[in-house]
Amino acid sequence: MSLKANPRRKTLGRKIAAARSQAGMTQGQVAKALKVVQSTVSAWEKGRRRLPSDRAAELDDLFDSGGAIKRAWNTANEPDALPPWYTEVGQLEREATELREYQPLIFPGLIQCESYTRGLLADTVPWFSPKEIDQMVTLRMARQEVLERQENRPLVSIVVEEAVLRRAVRGGQPVLIEQLTSVIKLIDKEQIRFQVIPSDAECHPGGSGPFCIYAFPDKPVVASAEHMKGEALMDDMMQVQHCAMLFGILQAEAMSPRASRELIRKTKEVLDDEA
């Protein structure tokens, strides 16, 4: 049955179309190989027909895409209990060539270790079931694949307030120590550029709250702002420019990357001594 396209199926459809193009195949050739009519393949790529799980595996084999279609299928078919923005953010990160994020309260989701994510979710969404928490943790950890890429890895620049380094989540100091250790490793592997705004900074331009800026190779820059129920995307040119300008000001007020790493190291040492 053909259905109205939703964002997650459209994203899956784009992945199928891209993999087919990469394999040098036409929709007609795919239809013949899978013994379906061409309109079915077209409907899959447009997100207007639900792709069965076994077909996702067949497409991976046909395109020799290394499981990319199946992974995209898993994302598109996550339970509706999870907020749609939770998977949309991961998609933006996978497509971006540059990410700039400011966080005044917590470590950004892209660089959270598993125990920190689990503790944070236990604190912030207590109405979610353990199963739903597990699903959200799994999705957030999968987002970090972009940091492990050998090619086309996005340039990631992060600015946080100093209080973030000392704010514990469920699980207490052991979890915070693990998170700080993880950030140091990411910095040392040059997977992220990380800066801290000291608590005694005279200028505090981040009062409007957390936000992220995404740059892409083939489409306009977009930004997102966090709120209680998720993230709101902004593609208005003026709003995006304002976010970019504000991020530049935040970087100017922050400590250098080297000094920021040293502060993280010292904070971790203090916590280690107290543990």
Report pLDDT digits (tens) over 160-170.
Answer: 999 999 999 99
How many residues make up the chain in this entry?
275
DSSP 8-state assignment for residue 2: B
CB-facing half-sphere around the CA of 32: CA atoms within 13 A: 5
* Cβ-based neighbours of 266, under 8 Å, separated by 6 or more: none
DSSP 8-state assignment for residue 101: E
What pLDDT is stored for residue 83 in this prediction?
Answer: 57
What pLDDT is stored for residue 48 in this prediction?
Answer: 83
H or E, element range at 124: helix 114-124
- Based on C-alpha coordinates, what's the Rg of the chain? 21
Q: CA-CA distance, 156 to 73, in Å (whole number)?
A: 27
For the beta carbon of residue 45, count every other beta carbon within 10 angstroms: 21
* Cβ-based neighbours of 168, under 8 Å, separated by 6 or more: 175, 176
What pLDDT is stored for residue 6 in this prediction?
Answer: 66
* Domains defined along the chain, listed by start: 7-76 (1.10.260.40), 84-274 (3.30.870)
**Positions of the chain with pLDDT lower than 50, given as ranges:** 1-4, 81
What pLDDT is stored for residue 78 in this prediction?
Answer: 67
What pLDDT is stored for residue 2 in this prediction?
Answer: 38
Query: Do residues 111 and 144 touch, judged by C-beta distance below 8 A?
Result: yes
Give which of 103, 102, 92, 111 is closest to 247, Cα–Cα: 102
